C-alpha cells in the first residue's frame, strides 16, 4: 500500500518471520547524479519510517540509466567499496535494515558491471553482477557478470538479488528458489513499450508468474520519469508467494510501496494435497543444471 | 474475439504462415459423457465455420474431469485408437484442420494416462501423456507420462502439446520452444481458486509469461461449468509471442475464441537490437538438460 505504515512485530498474532518490505520507485536521471543520491537518501529514510526492514531500490539507483556512451558510464561507475555502497551499508547498520540497490560497479580490473549490492547489518555488502545485459548496456561498455547470484542469509530472511532483464530467464528465477531464496529482490529499470489497452505491463506479469511457479516472494523496485527521451514503466510490485501483488501498482508515480509479508510462507511449496512445486518437477525428463559456486 | 469470423489467407497482405487458431471453452460433466461428445462435435463444426485451421479443445474433453474414483476413470478411458480419437482424426482430415483435444487414455498395458491427441490431416494422431499430474489425478488412478511432448510439424505449423499443470513448469515450456514449437497448444481444466479482486487468474498470467519469455504463441483451451461441486475458471486464452492475449477472456462462459496469428513471428526471438531470448540464456552458468527422445 502506498505510504501506509505497516505494523510489524508488535501484534500478538505476528509471525516471527513476518517482515515489512519496501520497494522505492524513484525518478532517476543520468544527468543529475546529485539528485539521484538525494532521492535515494530520502527514500531510505521514508521507507524506514514506514517500518520497512527490507528496502529495495531500483537498478542503477545512484547513476540513472541512459549513459549513452562509454565515457559517461565510466564517469558514473564506482567500486564496490566506494562511497555509495559504503553509505548504504552504514545506513543498513544504523537502522537494522537490509538494503538492496543497483549501481554501476567499477571493478579492480577496470571492467564495469551492472551490479546490485545487498547490504546486511551483519554481513555487510554482497554484490551481484547482472548476467543478462539489456540492449545498449552491451554497447555502453558493461560487462556481463560471470556468477549466479548468491542466496544471502540476512538477518531478515533468505534473499537473492537479480537485476531487471534477469527476470526474463525462468532458469535463473528457479535457481534462486531452488537454492532457498524466500524473497527475490529485483532492482529494475523497465523501459516502457507499447501494450494493448487494459493490459498490465509484461514485466509485471513475468514477475507474478515467476513468484507463483516457485512459491517465492518477489519485490521488484522500478524507476520512473523520462530520461534523455526514454520513458519508463514505473511498475514496481511486491508479490506474495502465489504471484499476486500485495501492494498497489502505480505506474509511473514516484512512490514507496510497503507490504508486510511472512517469509516462511515461501518455504511451503505445497499447492494442493498432492502437489509440491519443487517435488513435482520431472527431473527424470528435464533438469536445470547450474554451475556450483 | 468471441464468435467473430477471422479472415485468413484471402487478404493480399496475409502472411503465408498466418493461421486462425480456435480455443473451445466448453461446459463438461463427467456424469454426462454423451453431452460432452455433442459439445465437442458442435464446437469443432462452429470453429471450422469461423475459419479455424488449428482447433484446441479442453483437457479430458470427452470425459469431464471429476472422476472421483478409479472405477469411473476406467469406465471413461479409451485407447488412443478408440472411437473418440478416430472421430477427431476423421474430422481433421475432412476439414483440413489440426485438432488438439484431451482424453483419458487406456493404454495397452492397462495404465491410464491424462493424454491429449494432436490430429493432423497428414500425420494422423500424435498422443502426449501429461507428465505433471494434478492433485487427485494421482489418487484416481492416472499414471504420469514418461516422455516429453513431441513437436509436431503439422500442415499448419510446428505445434507442441502440454496439458494444464504442465504449464506451471517453465522448464517444459522452454523445452517446447527450444525444440522449435511456434505454438503451444494446451488443453486445460483449471480449477477455480480464490484470488484478489481485480486480479486475472494466475493460470492465465503464467501462460502470458511463458509465451513472452520464449516468444511462442500459446493457446490454452479451458473448460467451464460446475461439475460435482467443482467450479472451473473458464479462462481460455490465446496469446501472441509477446504474451499478450489476442482474444478476449470471458471467464466461465461457454464460448469459442478465434484469432489470426502469424506463426512465423515465433521464429523471431529478437526483442531489442541487441537481445535474443534464446541467445541471451547464460548456458555457461545454467542450462536446461533434457532427455533426448
Task: Say whether A127 sits in a helix, a strand or coil.
Answer: strand
| Residues 6 or more apart in contact with residue A266 via CB below 8 angstroms | A177, A181, A182, A183, A215, A216, A217, A241
A74 in contact with chain B, both atoms CB, cutoff 8 A: no
| pLDDT tens digits along A152-206 | 999 999 999 999 999 999 999 999 999 999 999 999 999 999 999 999 999 999 9
pLDDT the model gives residue B291: 80
Name the helix (H) or strand (E) containing B41.
helix B33-49
The ipTM is 0.95
Query: Which residue(s) pair with B120 in the sheet?
Result: B124
Please state, as a whole number, how many other Cβ atoms lie within 10 Å of the Cβ of residue B247.
22
> Do residue B171 and residue A199 have CB atoms under 8 angstroms apart?
no
Structure confidence at residue A123 as a pLDDT band (50, 70, 90): very high
Contact (CB, 8 A) for A217 and A233: no
Q: Is B278 on the interface with A (CB under 8 A)?
A: no
Q: What is the CA radius of gyration of chain A?
A: 18
Q: What are phi and psi of B127, to 5 degrees?
A: -105, 130
Residue B8 has pLDDT above 50, yes or no: no
Q: Is the pLDDT assigned to residue A104 strictly greater than 60?
A: yes
Nearest to B135 among A174, A209, A273 (CB): A273
- C-alpha dist (Å) from residue A16 to A178, A202, A261, A264, B233: 23, 34, 11, 9, 35
Task: Write the CB contacts of A19 (distance below 8 Å, at least 6 apart in sequence).
Answer: A8, A53, A54, A156, A157, A260, A261, A262, A263
Mean pLDDT of A96-121: 98
Assign B109 a pLDDT band (cuts: 50, 70, 90): very high
A147–chain B Cβ distance below 8 A for any pair = yes
The answer to whether the CB of B131 falls within 8 A of the CB of B172 is yes
Q: Can you read off the three cell numbers belonging to residue A158?
A: 533468505
pLDDT digits 0-9 by tens, B167-184: 999 999 999 999 999 999
The whole-angstrom separation of Cα B207 and Cα B144 is 22
Q: How many CB atoms lie within 10 A of CB A245?
A: 21
Q: Choose between B142 and B4: higher pLDDT.
A: B142
Are the Cβ atoms of A280 and B169 closer than 8 angstroms? Answer: yes
**Contact criterion met (CB < 8 Å) for A288 and B132:** no
| Minimum Cα–Cα distance from A200: chain B residue | B244
Interface touch A289/B284, C-beta < 8 Å: no
> According to the model, what pLDDT value does residue A6 have?
41
Q: In chain A, what percentage of residues exceed pLDDT 90?
A: 94
Nearest CA in chain A to B140: A274
* Nearest Cα to Cα of residue A69 among A135, A136, A132, A115: A136
Which whole number is the average pLDDT over A92-113?
A: 98
Which chain A residues touch B210 with a CB distance below 8 Å? 209
Q: Among partner residues A172, A202, A245, which is closest to B286 by beta-carbon distance?
A: A172
Cβ <8 Å between B171 and A170: yes
Which residues have CB under 8 Å from A168's CB, separation 6+? Answer: A132, A206, B212, B213, B277
Cβ contact (<8 Å) for A169 and B213?
yes
B18, B262 in Cβ contact below 8 A?
A: yes
Which positions in chain A touch B212 (Cβ < 8 Å)? Answer: 168, 202, 205-206
How many A×B Cβ pairs under 8 Å?
Answer: 157
Query: Cβ of A90: how many Cβ atoms within 10 Å?
Result: 11
How far apart CA B113 and CA B125 sit, in angstroms, is 16
Average pLDDT (B193-208) is: 97
pLDDT at B173: 98
H helix count then E strand count, chain A: 5, 18
User: In this structure, what C-alpha cell is assigned to residue B88?
Assistant: 477427431
B274:A136 CB<8 A: yes
CB-based contact B275 A135, cutoff 8 Å: yes
Please indicate whether, in this complex, the C-beta atoms of B281 and A134 are within 8 angstroms of each other. Answer: no
Instruction: Decide if B291 and A286 are in contact by the 8 Å CB cutoff.
Output: yes
Whole-number pLDDT of residue B14 = 73
Examine the pLDDT at A34 and tell me if it is beyond 60: yes
Which whole-number Å values give the CA distances from A30 to A103, A166, B164, in the listed order? 12, 22, 45
**Backbone φ and ψ of B104, nearest 5°:** -80, 120
User: Average pLDDT, whole number, for chain B?
Assistant: 95
Q: What percent of chain B has pLDDT over 70?
A: 95
Cβ-defined contact of B275 to A243 (cutoff 8 Å) = no
Nearest by CB to residue A244, choosing from B199, B284, B290, is B199
The residue ranges of DSSP E strands in A121-235, in sequence order, are: 124-129, 142-143, 151-154, 157-161, 183-187, 217-221, 223-224, 226-227, 230-231
Nearest to B64 by CA among B228, B283, B276: B228
Q: Do β-strands A124-129 and B183-187 pair in parallel, antiparallel, or remain unpaired?
A: unpaired
pLDDT at A288: 95
Q: Is the pLDDT of residue B293 over 70?
A: no
From chain A, the residues in CB contact with B139 under 8 A are 274
Kindly report the number of other CB atoms within 10 A of residue B207's CB atom.
28
Residue of A nearest to B241 (CA): A202
Residue of chain B with shortest Cα separation from A274: B135
CA nearest to A138 within chain B: B274
If you measure CA to CA, which chain A residue comes closest to B175?
A286
Q: Are A161 and A187 in contact (CB under 8 A)?
A: yes
Is the per-residue pLDDT at B7 higher than 80?
Answer: no
Mean pLDDT of B31-53: 98
CB-nearest partner of B205 from A168, A205, A275 = A205
* Interface contact B205-A209, CB threshold 8 A: yes
Phi-psi group of B142: left, alpha or beta (phi > 0 → left; psi -120 to 50 → alpha; rest → beta): beta
Residue in A172, A223, A176, A191 with CA at minimum distance from that of residue A59: A223
Residue the block writes with cell 511432448: B149
Amino acid at each position: 500500500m502506498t505510504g501506509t505504515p505497516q505494523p510489524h512485530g508488535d501484534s500478538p498474532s505476528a509471525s516471527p518471520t513476518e517482515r515489512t518490505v519496501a520497494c522505492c520507485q524513484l525518478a532517476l536521471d543520468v544527468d543529475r547524479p546529485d539528485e539521484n543520491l538525494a532521492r535515494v537518501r530520502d527514500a531510505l529514510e521514508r521507507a524506514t519510517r514506514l517500518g520497512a526492514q527490507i528496502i529495495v531500490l531500483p537498478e542503477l539507483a545512484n547513476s540513472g540509466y541512459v549513459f549513452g556512451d562509454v565515457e559517461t558510464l565510466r564517469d558514473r561507475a564506482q567500486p564496490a567499496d566506494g562511497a555509495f555502497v559504503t553509505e548504504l551499508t552504514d545506513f543498513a547498520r544504523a537502522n537494522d535494515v537490509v538494503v538492496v540497490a543497483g549501481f554501476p560497479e567499477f571493478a579492480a580490473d577496470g571492467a564495469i558491471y551492472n551490479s546490485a549490492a545487498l547490504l546486511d547489518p551483519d554481513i555487510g555488502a554482497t554484490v551481484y553482477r547482472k548476467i543478462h545485459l539489456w540492449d545498449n548496456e552491451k554497447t555502453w561498455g558493461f560487462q556481463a557478470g560471470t556468477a549466479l547470484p548468491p542466496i544471502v542469509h540476512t538477518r531478515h530472511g533468505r534473499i537473492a538479488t537479480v537485476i531487471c532483464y534477469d527476470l526474463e530467464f525462468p532458469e535463473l528465477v528457479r535457481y534462486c528458489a531452488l537454492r532457498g531464496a524466500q524473497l527475490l529482490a529485483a532492482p529494475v529499470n523497465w523501459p516502457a513499450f507499447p501494450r494493448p489497452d487494459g493490459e498490465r505491463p509484461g514485466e509485471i506479469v513475468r514477475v507474478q508468474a515467476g513468484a507463483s511457479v516457485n512459491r517465492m516472494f518477489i519485490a521488484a523496485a522500478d524507476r520512473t520519469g523520462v530520461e534523455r527521451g526514454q520513458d519508463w514503466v514505473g511498475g514496481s510490485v511486491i508479490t506474495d508467494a502465489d504471484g499476486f501483488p500485495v501492494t498497489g501498482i502505480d505506474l509511473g508515480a514516484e512512490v514507496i510501496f510497503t507490504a508486510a509479508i511472512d517469509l516462511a510462507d515461501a518455504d511451503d511449496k505445497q499447492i494442493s494435497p498432492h502437489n509440491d512445486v519443487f517435488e513435482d518437477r520431472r527431473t527424470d525428463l528435464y533438469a536445470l543444471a547450474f554451475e556450483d559456486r
